[in-house]
Amino acid sequence: MQDAFERYAMEVSPTKRGERWEIIRLNKLGRTDLAKIQLSELRTHHVNLWIEEQLKTLKASSINRELNLIASVIEKARKHWKWIATNPIRDADRPKNPTPRDRRISEEEIKRILQSLGYEGRSNVATQRQFIAVAFLFALETAMRQGEIWGMEWDYVHLEQRYVTLPNTKNGTKRDVPLSSEAVLLLKALRPKKQGKVFPYSQQSSGVIFRRSLRLAGIEGLTFHDTRHEALTKLAKKLSMLDLARMVGHNDPRSLMIYYNATASEIAKLLS
């Protein structure tokens, strides 16, 4: 298996947007007992033993992501390199993923987060913490992913037409994200430029500061990604499912159910 991991990292991973992280994962897999097995001798029971070992330290969702990568490597070896006849991952006993997160963000929590970041309104955005506050509010308006927000460039921001172009998304395709009136005002508060990053601070350091602000605000069980759940749940009341799927970059509208978390009371208010 180790030869397959190494060849995949050299030939296939460089063609992907997530090249760096995939190669790191492949190098990690190359140090496991699974990598020591000759690919032609790899069987499903070997994979199941590896899964049992991983369950001691990793979550089911993490293991399944690793299995997806291993399956891709083996499928490449089967179809193109002819190193193996069948893919033993297909019959492996995959662990069951946990139920999707359904964490909502209350108005009181939003207020406390903004206070902990020193945000005093759109008219005064100068520090990194205040930029992070704007990014947080912008995420709640657009349902954009954290990486998409920090990757935004002014060249692709069209305030007059009220949309932002994302040239390279998680799905590997271009996407135009429509902007609400509030989202436009938030971007204008950052003093638009002709070019450069919309949010000039690094995503990593900003993430650290955001998590610190949650602790200062006394908020538990919340991540920046939960803004996507909150935004999608609210946007679903305004947009058709097809328009919403297009806005947030989901090819299959049914996959939006993972993020849509309206309460029974909220749904009841929509009924006549």
- Torsion, Cα of 227, 108, 101, 229 (10° steps): -30
Question: How far apart are the C-alpha atoms of 272 and 194, rounded to whole Å?
Answer: 48
For residue 122, what pLDDT is reported?
A: 92
Active site residue 90: no
Active site residue 45: no
- On whether the CB atoms of residues 166 and 203 are closer than 8 A, the answer is no
Packed helices 60-79 and 2-11: angle between N→C axes, nearest 10 degrees: 80
User: Exposed, middle or buried: residue 181 (CB in 10 Å: 0-12, 13-18, 19+)?
Assistant: exposed
- On whether the CB atoms of residues 248 and 236 are closer than 8 A, the answer is no
Packed helices 107-116 and 203-216: angle between N→C axes, nearest 10 degrees: 110
Active site residue 228: yes
Q: Going edge to edge, which strands form the sheet with 157-158?
A: 157-158, 163-166, 175-178
Task: Copy the structure tokens of residue 108.
Answer: 């009181």
- The amino acid at residue 262 is A
Task: Copy the structure tokens of residue 176.
Answer: 């135009």
**pTM exceeds cut of 0.85:** no
Active-site residue (options: 158, 170, 197, 211)? 170
Active-site residue (options: 145, 229, 254, 269)? 145
For residue 171, what pLDDT is reported?
A: 63
Active site residue 225: yes
Question: How far apart are the C-alpha atoms of 5 and 28, rounded to whole Å?
Answer: 10
Phi-psi region of 176 (alpha: psi -120 to 50; beta: other; left: phi over 0): beta
Q: Which residues pair with 157 in a beta bridge?
A: 164
Active-site residue (options: 104, 112, 250, 260)? 250
Active-site residue (options: 90, 162, 225, 237)? 225
pLDDT tens series, the chain, 272 aa: 899 999 999 999 998 877 888 999 999 999 988 999 999 999 999 999 999 999 988 889 889 999 999 999 999 999 999 999 999 998 999 998 877 677 889 999 999 999 999 999 999 899 999 999 999 999 999 999 999 999 999 999 999 999 999 887 766 678 899 999 999 999 999 998 888 999 999 999 999 999 999 999 999 999 999 998 899 888 888 877 777 777 877 766 666 666 666 677 776 776 65
- On whether the CB atoms of residues 39 and 4 are closer than 8 A, the answer is yes
For residue 246, what pLDDT is reported?
A: 79
> What letter would DSSP give residue 232?
H
Active site residue 259: yes
Question: How far apart are the C-alpha atoms of 213 and 117, rounded to whole Å?
Answer: 6
For residue 236, what pLDDT is reported?
A: 81
For residue 256, what pLDDT is reported?
A: 64
The total number of residues written for the chain in this structure: 272
DSSP 213-228: HHHHTT--S--TTHHH
